[in-house]
């Protein structure tokens, strides 16, 4: 939201007051946002943290940034993992800095997913594909190129504008019951409804899932991707925890949630993208339908590993502390030998890692990112300048800390010149390694 305020021309004092009012609306969860159960148990408490995507302009570096508690907790009643603070969605998503189309990996996988779904559902010019949180049209454009009508739903003003400029029909609103009723009344329902990496951002899960059911045709399918909490815990992906991500899902926590809203998980796939995700194929509930064997197998695997019990999460905080010790020790060693270090990826992951581990300008010279939207801004908390990737070759720091480690292969391929000149990469997660 700060980035939106940068361009309004408001005075510094007025902007600060607006920020204070927004922060005052942050709600602390006393009950589970999935089942309303009590007795949430802490998995990891990071303390006060800045908003991970609240990049700063240079003229705001002297202002005090809001810091909001960031605590990950487990619900013993429904096994949903979640953070305990809820920042208003408008403060996070009305102006957004993540554009999906800047990632070649995301585009490649989106093209393949659109091809698969077109064939699987036999879509044609009479069909409709919708996407909730459609970003800049990165996925819908592949359906549109095949002649299939599309409709995107995207609350971020700047991103929805880019999608429309690309010719992707986009409704600029937050999705929930109210918008779903409106779309249903207008006959705008989908044969396919995508919802990639948005369910984790939703506070009102009941309203979202009721709305999802309303915008699906009776024989339609929703294709939903969510971060998989098993990968988060087993791969120590603590940096995927930030204020935008309210929930962290297992199949065990998702199945009853969908069933309560007349939906069933018909099939599931486990993906490596974003450090580990689940792709769900969700249909209207019907007692005659039987979930796929993949669903049955994953449910059995989760029972075996104990993902629905707090004990599965009990040692996570210690593992994060161990990773912090290894990484900060290595970075200090490099600095004491005169090595220069930069960061790659002005991502929310990067903001979480840098702020929680206490890594700032004393260690990193700058951060680079391919997104032209982020270049020229500064990282929250650490105030590291964000530059274009070409600066790696210009400045030739000996090492680069990969903050977007989930795209490490893509980054390494793009930086052949830097590597050819002797530059090395430090990948911190899931295990610290130097390439």
Q: Which of 314, 346, 380 is a domain's end point?
A: 314
Question: Do residue 132 and residue 216 come from a single domain?
Answer: yes
Nearest C-alpha neighbor of 376 from the set 19, 106, 61, 159: 61
Please tell me the least confidently modeled range out of 29-33, 92-96, 192-196, 252-256: 92-96
CA neighbor of 275 nearest in space, from 211, 353, 337: 353
289-297 contact pairs (CB < 8 A, 24+): 289/264, 291/264, 291/265, 291/266, 291/267, 292/266, 292/267, 292/268, 294/267, 294/268, 294/269, 295/251, 295/255, 295/265, 295/266, 295/267, 295/268
In 3D space, the residue among 351, 328, 331 whose CA is nearest the CA of residue 238 turns out to be 351
Residue with tokens 């890594």: 359
Beta-carbon-side half-sphere exposure of residue 414 (alpha carbons within 13 Å): 17
Let me know whether 106 and 194 are in one domain. yes
Is the domain of 124 the same as that of 256?
Answer: yes
Q: Between residues 109 and 265, which one has the greater pLDDT?
A: 265
Indicate whether 74 and 211 sit together in one domain. Answer: yes
Dihedral sign for Cα 271, 227, 386, 331, please. negative
- Determine the Cα–Cα distance for residues 227 and 139; give it in Å rounded to an integer: 18
Both 412 and 359 in a single domain? yes
Q: Is pLDDT at 266 greater than 60 in this prediction? A: yes
Using alpha carbons, list the distances in angstroms from residue 307 to 92, 121, 199, 224, 310: 30, 33, 20, 21, 8
Average pLDDT over residues 153-169: 90
pTM of the model: 0.86
CATH number at residue 407: 3.40.50.720
Q: Are residues 289 and 398 in the same domain?
A: no
- 331 in the same domain as 233: no
18 pLDDT higher than 50: no
Name the average pLDDT for the chain. Answer: 89
Structurally, how many domains does the chain consist of?
2
3-class SS letters over the chain:
CHHHHHCCCCCHHHHHHHHHHHHHCCEECCCCCCCCCCCCEEEEEEEEEECCCCCECHHHCCCCCCEEEEEEEECCCCCCEEECEECCHHHHHCCCCCCHHHCHHHHHHHHHHHHHHHHHHCCCCCCCEEEECCCCCCCHHHHHHCCCCEEEECCCHHHHHHHHHCCCCEECCCCCHHHHHHHHHCCCCEEEEEEECCHHHCCCHHHHHHHHHHHEEEEEEEEEEEEEHHHHHHCCCHHHCCCCCCEEECHHHHHHHHHCCCEEEEEEEEECHHHCEEEEEEEECCCCCCCCHHHHHHHHHHHHHCCCCHHHCCCHHHHHHHHHHHHHHHHHHHHHCCCCEEEECCCHHHHHHHHHHCCCCCCCCCEECCCCCCCCCECCCCCCEEECCCHHHHHCCCEEEECCHHHHHHHHHHCHHHHHCCCEEEECCCCCEEC
Terminal-to-terminal C-alpha distance of the chain? 36
- Give the pLDDT mean for 329-354: 96
Kindly indicate the confidence band of residue 72, based on its pLDDT and cuts at 50, 70 and 90.
Answer: very high
Q: What is the pLDDT of residues 107-146, one digit of tens each?
A: 888 899 999 999 999 999 999 999 999 988 889 999 999 9
Of 299, 235, 307, nearest in space to 272 by CA: 235
- Backbone φ and ψ of 269, nearest 5°: -130, 145
| In a shared domain, residues 38 and 115 | yes
Point out the domain boundary residue: 263, 280, 314: 314
Residue ending a domain, among 292, 314, 336, is: 314
Q: Do 14 and 37 have their domain in common?
A: yes
Residues 327 and 368 in one domain: yes
* Residue 346 in this model has a pLDDT that exceeds 50: yes
Among the listed ranges 311-315, 378-382, 402-406, which one has the minimum average pLDDT value?
402-406
How much is the pLDDT for 99?
65
Q: Are residues 322 and 310 in the same domain?
A: no
Same domain? For 301 and 361 the reply is no
Residue 374 reports pLDDT greater than 90 = yes
Share of the chain above pLDDT 70, in %: 91
The enclosing domain of 139 has a CATH number of 3.40.50.150
Q: State the number of CA atoms in the 13 A half-sphere of 183 facing the CB.
A: 29
| Peptide bond before residue 430 is cis, with ω within 30 degrees of 0 | yes
Which pair of tokens denotes residue 424? 């090395």
Residue 69 belongs to domain spanning: 1-314
């Amino acid at each position: 939201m700060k980035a939106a305020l940068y361009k309004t021309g408001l005075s510094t004092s007025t902007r600060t007051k607006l920020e204070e009012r927004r922060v005052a609306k942050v709600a602390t969860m006393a009950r589970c946002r999935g089942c309303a159960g009590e007795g949430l148990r802490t998995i990891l408490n990071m303390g006060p943290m800045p908003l991970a995507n609240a990049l700063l302009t240079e003229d705001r570096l002297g202002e005090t940034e809001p810091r909001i508690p960031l605590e990950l907790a487990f619900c013993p009643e429904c096994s949903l993992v979640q953070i305990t603070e809820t920042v208003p969605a408008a403060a996070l998503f009305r102006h957004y800095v993540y554009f999906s189309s800047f990632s070649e990996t995301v585009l490649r996988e989106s093209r393949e997913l659109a091809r698969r779904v077109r064939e699987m559902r036999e879509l044609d010019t009479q069909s409709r594909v919708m996407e909730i949180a459609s970003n800049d049209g990165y996925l819908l454009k592949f359906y549109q190129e095949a002649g299939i009508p599309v409709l995107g739903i995207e609350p971020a003003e700047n991103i929805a504008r880019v999608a429309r400029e690309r010719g992707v029909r986009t409704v600029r609103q937050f999705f929930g019951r109210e918008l779903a009723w409106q779309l249903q009344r207008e006959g705008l329902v989908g044969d396919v409804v995508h919802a990639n990496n948005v369910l984790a951002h939703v506070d009102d899960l009941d309203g979202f899932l009721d709305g999802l059911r309303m915008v699906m045709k009776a024989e339609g399918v929703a294709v939903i991707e969510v971060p998989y909490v098993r990968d988060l815990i087993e791969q120590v992906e603590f940096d995927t925890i930030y204020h935008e991500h309210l929930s962290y899902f297992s199949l065990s926590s998702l199945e009853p949630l969908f069933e309560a809203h007349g939906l069933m998980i018909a099939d599931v796939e486990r993906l490596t993208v974003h450090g580990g995700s689940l792709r769900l194929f969700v249909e209207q509930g019907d007692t005659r339908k039987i979930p796929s064997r993949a669903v049955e197998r994953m449910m059995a695997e989760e029972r075996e590993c104990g993902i629905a019990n707090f004990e599965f999460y009990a040692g996570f905080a210690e593992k994060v502390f161990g990773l912090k010790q290894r990484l900060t020790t290595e970075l200090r060693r490099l600095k004491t030998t005169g090595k220069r270090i930069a960061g790659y990826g002005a991502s929310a992951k990067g903001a979480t890692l840098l702020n929680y581990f206490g890594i700032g300008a004393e260690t990193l010279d700058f951060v680079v990112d391919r997104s032209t939207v982020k270049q020229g801004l500064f990282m929250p908390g650490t105030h590291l300048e964000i530059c274009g990737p070409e600066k790696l070759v210009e400045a030739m720091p000996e090492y680069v800390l990969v903050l977007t480690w989930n795209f490490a292969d893509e980054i390494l391929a793009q930086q052949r010149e830097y590597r050819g000149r002797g530059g090395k990469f430090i990948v911190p997660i899931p295990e610290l390694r130097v390439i």
